[in-house]
Structure 1
Amino acid sequence: MDRWVSVEEIAGYLGVSKDTVYGWISKKDMPAHKVGRLWKFKTDEVDNWVRIGKASDDWFEPTPEKQISHKRK
């Protein structure tokens, strides 16, 4: 069974700083769950998130104004 881990634990698990984890939560849609005032993580969810490349510096999610519209005018 996968237990809930803290920001400190997930940062250590991934080998990054806590600041990086907080940045990923806000900017890269890192799977995190707010429990009271604390962020908690399931390592299997984070593993999947990393596998699909969302932790990568190359990951880019277009903003609505940058998406190409296929509608005819």
Structure 2
Amino acid sequence: MDKEREIMTVAQVAEYLQISEVTTYKLVQDGRIPGFKIGRHWRVRKEDLREHIAKLAHGEHL
């Protein structure tokens, strides 16, 4: 049984959202998707991403 990943890479977020990695990277870098850096690498908490999507679905502009 696969344990769901709590922390996602930009590539995993892109796959999850079905958008390109380049677009995902720009959105994370611009703060439009909640993320954080570990060294030079961006990471996104899955729970933060889900909350962000829920807010967008309810018409909140972030």
**TM-score (ref. length: structure 2):** 0.72
Paired with 1:21 and 1:7, the residues of 2 have a C-alpha distance of 6
**Identical counterparts, % of pairs:** 21
Look up the SS of the partner of 2:51 in the other structure. Answer: helix
Are 1:52 and 2:48 matched, yes or no?
no
Q: Which residue of 1 aligns with 2:24?
A: 21
Q: CA RMSD in A?
A: 2.5
Residue of 38, 42, 46 corresponding to 1:43: 46
Task: Name the structure with the higher strand share.
Answer: 2
> How far, CA to CA, are the matches of 1:4 and 1:43 in structure 2?
6
Q: Which amino acid in the other structure matches residue 8 of structure 1?
A: A
Is the contact made by 1:32 and 1:41 (CA closer than 8 Å) also made in structure 2? yes
Question: Which sections of structure 2, spanning at least 5 residues, go unmatched?
Answer: none
The alpha-carbon distance between structure 1 residues 36 and 27, as it changes in their structure 2 partners (threshold 3 A), is closer
SS of equivalent residue, structure 1 residue 52 = helix
- TM-score, normalised with respect to structure 1: 0.63
- Per the alignment, in what secondary structure is the counterpart of residue 53 of structure 1? helix
Runs of 4+ deviating beyond 6 Å: none
